[in-house]
Structure 1
């Protein structure tokens, strides 16, 4: 189950730290600090799976270089107790794939940081059972006049700013979890504020994990075990009390199912508790449609949940009259217009897909292949089900001469984008192909 964690730390000289050493350690790189003449080399660090510097539109190009950026930050600070950087540490939901982690971080950084003039050095540490990200922030405004940094951004230290980051991180995570068809959700509020009668666990930390590797059980881990047993006991007591209700009374979940039926989200027998999974799927649909409407606000005029021959799907109604059918692990396109293809590829990217498997006519496949490659959404070797023609390769070479076309395809994952009318392929055959794909 996804856990919530967002903490903020300050990189300060008063504690003997520098932004250059912090950046080198987080990113697993080598940085020479001009101010002190020290060199920080952490290139042997193996857990770094992603690193990137995000800058606002008005930032000069040199600020995307990690060594130049943090040396400039150190040069702009003159006090012995200067706060040279701020760090946000977040836990990444294990229900999401690595590519979905990146999309999650990019959306959060863009909306909460770079759009407000903050530069963010983002690094993902892929530790077993502890995938997390470090976001190192600059604390000074960008000064275009002197091609450097200006005054301090004091608002970054406020409690309101921390509360906003915590709330927005939960919102971004839950949106990604919903898009990924995961039922897990996180909440930035305390257990008390959520109205939950549970005892909060304590933070374990790296030292306790190191003790575990040496066969030593820390007191913090022992305490967490006792807390979890107590919470589980309380939950079992609640379930037992709920089971003692008088005959004829309905449980809260049954009442919710009745309400869902009235809302036309799902038609179920309200006393059939075996259909609870279908009910949860209906709740998921309620949250998924608003998310689709938000993502494609400029492209579509509405989203409907419909039943088709191969199951339930979300029909995205485009402004130009086209339609996209979202089946979760499969996307269908109504007529193959340019508008439909562009939105379908955008949806695949939002889902965090690492590849496409195409079905349909060769003309349709060619359209999707060229749009996916030329838009930068996917590389040629990530697309299966279609062998590009000579004319396709010529178009790619003309538009993207730097792009290298591999002779052999090595696909990490495959998904389906196909025309709903089944043109160019037999509908029954398409259904057989789907289980063979690696979801």
Structure 2
């Protein structure tokens, strides 16, 4: 299940560390430090799956070059005990796909870091069972006059700022988990603040894990963690046992009626009840999902409704121009196939972290979706199946993106289905093995 982790560390010269070395190691690149003359080469590092530098609008272009950026950071510091950079390390929810991890990180970085004037060097280490991200931050404000760095911003080091980051990371993660239809949630608060009767585990550290892999027994911390987990599990089993006792005969009859009434209205559902598990999941999903859709599509829609259709429950996004987009989870459907509906449908698929789409409907409709999806940069042509682009489609794409190469035959991949609301084209029978997005 998803775990919460956000820690902040300082890169300081007093500990013998440099921003250039830290950036090279985390990004798996080779960087030469102009100040010390050292070269840090970590190009053999294989776990790096994503790397990108984010800068505020007023930053010069050269700051997007990793070696130039961190050498400039080092040269802007003159003291022997300088704090050259700050690092945020976050755990990425394993319930999300790699593309959803990227969306999650970019949203957090833009809203919490770049908006405050920081430069963020973001790297994802896709370790099996432990995907996480390193966010290396500058500590000085950008000075436009000298095309470099100015004074340090002390507010970035405040306790209030740290608490804001911790809370916002949990909110961003839970928002993405909700969009992905996952029931997992994380909480930035301590176990005591959450009111949980559990003992917190202790931090083991990467060095201990590495030594354990080599068969070396390291510290007593792992033994302590094992005992803590056993104690917590025992407490949980006791709670489950007490809850399983049949005490209905001693309960007040009126209270029982209230509970049953709540169940029938989907206001209260037992997640351990097999018959109601699906309803419980849908109820949780609905309560958190509509506000998220309203936030994402604030510039495009007038509201979001939960409705019942002939093919099940969905969330209807009512667009400003009168169009409608229907979100069925693994399927998306549009009312008439207008440009506005297609644009929003593709944006919704991107927010969900979809890797591909399968098109059904008329050729005119498929053409419109294919061109819009490719030009948006969200999907490469080979990730769009169910349609062979015409010469006119290719000419439009090549005019807008001359460097883009499109193969003659699209490869068959696991994808999602887009279907027009009039039901034209192939949908259920021949594509039953695929999750579907209906437009």
- TM-score, scaled relative to structure 1: 0.93
For residue 374 of structure 2, give the secondary structure of its aligned residue in structure 1: helix
Distance 1:119 1:435 in 2: 46
Unaligned runs of 5+ in 2: none
Identify the residue that residue 136 of structure 1 maps to in structure 2: 136
Q: CA deviation at 1:434?
A: 4.0
Q: CA deviation at 1:134?
A: 0.2
The within-5 A match list for 1:16-415 is 16-218=16-218, 219-244=220-245, 246-248=247-249, 249=251, 258-259=261-262, 261-262=264-265, 265=266, 274-410=275-411, 413-415=414-416
Q: CA deviation at 1:409?
A: 2.9
Contact conserved, 2:10 with 2:83, CA < 8 A, in 1? yes
Identify the residue that residue 432 of structure 1 maps to in structure 2: 429
Q: CA deviation at 1:273?
A: 6.7
Contact conserved, 2:92 with 2:101, CA < 8 A, in 1? yes
More displaced stretch, 371-380 vs 22-31? 371-380
For residue 430 of structure 1, give the secondary structure of its aligned residue in structure 2: coil
More displaced stretch, 122-131 vs 188-197? 122-131
Q: CA deviation at 1:198?
A: 0.6
Q: CA deviation at 1:236?
A: 1.4
Q: CA deviation at 1:400?
A: 1.1
Unaligned runs of 5+ in 1: none
Contact conserved, 2:388 with 2:410, CA < 8 A, in 1? no
Q: 1:217 to 1:360 in 2, by over 3 A?
A: farther
More displaced stretch, 12-21 vs 371-380? 371-380
Distance 2:256 2:126 in 1: 38
Q: CA deviation at 1:224?
A: 1.7
Contact conserved, 2:12 with 2:18, CA < 8 A, in 1? yes
Q: 1:267 to 1:166 in 2, by over 3 A?
A: closer
Q: CA deviation at 1:268?
A: 8.3
Identify the residue that residue 9 of structure 1 maps to in structure 2: 9
Q: Which deviations, in whole Å up to 9, do the C-alpha atoms of 1:44-76 show, x marking residues without a partner?
A: 111111100001111111100000000110111
Q: CA deviation at 1:281?
A: 1.9
Q: Which deviations, in whole Å up to 9, do the C-alpha atoms of 1:87-117 show, x marking residues without a partner?
A: 0000000000000000000000000011111
For residue 372 of structure 1, give the secondary structure of its aligned residue in structure 2: helix
